[in-house]
Amino acid sequence: MQRILEPGEIEALDHNAIPRVRLPQRASIFGDRARRLKQLAAGNPIGDYLNLMASLAQAQQQALNGLSGETDSHARDQARNNLAQTHLLPLILATDQVRSPHWQTVLDQLLEQLTKASGLPPALIQLIERIRQTGANQRDSQAEAILRRNNEIVDPASAPFYAAALQVICSDLVTRFDVHDVPLLDTPGLCPCCGSMPVASVVRMDGQSQGHRYLQCGMCAAEWHMVRIKCAYCDSTKGIAYQSIEDEQAAGAAAIKAETCDECHSWLKIFYQEKDPYVEPLADDLASLTLDLLMGETVYARRQGNPLLWQAAEG
């Protein structure tokens, strides 16, 4: 009797198949990001902030390592996996992680690690203390606003630290899955692992991913394949164009462009690993604010900001 193969089994038979999903490497997700942020800080107009985020990323890696011994039936729940596969849903929802029993503990661990650094600016010390003194319910409200992009009530100063804790929780859960657990979604522009939007895209140059574009999730750091010259948000292949910084001699300018869509008037950064082998999409996105400023003068809108940098809502 013949048996219908599942998608993962089909891919396993084809050694030339494009990896549909690249799960983050648990042992180095945030450590790699920290190193890249430090590298990008040199000569960058926001170098001090990038160095701060590098320290935060290093603290994230330590916190994630500390969660390795924690069991989480939610992540390994086969019934939920089957539901996700059947109904084309993400494996978990980042928006649900406010209910995680670990996220506030992780937040406190991140703050504790940051305070160990010498020479912190007084304003940062005050901000850390303010977050520490915030009640649990208020913390939950702020975290939910961040995850749901309710910018009107998000505190932009503290948001990167809340987001960093939630990134750890999401990455912890997602890295407990096998890549073949990840379903195919029928909704463009959403992470198949946690349902978040991409922070940027990258054309990879390693292994079977060589020459193929991946969208990187801003929360769990998973990457999923999307063909090039296609809008990440509306799936259109019409009216796709690429904008770049005119001075390609500027640091990293040759490795980054803004992909614009005339159908939905959105834009998303795309990085080219061929031009810079050390590209880390979230870190490089944070370090390339010049492109954001230039795109702010156009008719295109960015759908998703960087979780580690928030602007005050316009009143």
* pLDDT tens profile 22-81: 999 999 999 999 999 999 999 999 999 999 999 999 999 999 999 976 665 555 567 778
Neighbouring CB atoms inside 10 A of 65's CB total: 14
Q: Which pLDDT tens digit goes with each residue over 254-313?
A: 899 999 999 999 999 999 999 999 999 999 999 999 999 999 999 999 999 999 999 876
Question: Is the Cβ–Cβ distance between 14 and 5 less than 8 Å?
Answer: no
Per-residue pLDDT at 11: 45
Could you tell me the domains of the chain? 7-12+22-179 (3.90.1670.10), 188-302 (3.90.1670.10)
Could you count the other beta carbons within 10 Å of the beta carbon of residue 102?
19
What's 11-49 look like in SS3?
A: HHHCCCCCCCEECCCCCCHHHHHHHHHHHHHCCCCCHHH
Query: pLDDT, tens digit, for every residue of 238-271?
Result: 999 999 987 655 556 789 999 999 999 999 999 9
Q: What is the pLDDT of residue 73?
A: 54
Binned at pLDDT 50, 70 and 90, residue 203 comes out as: very high
Q: Is pTM beyond 0.85 here?
A: yes
Looking at residue 117, the DSSP 8-state letter turns out to be: S
Of 300, 163, 160, 154, nearest to 233 (Cα)? 300
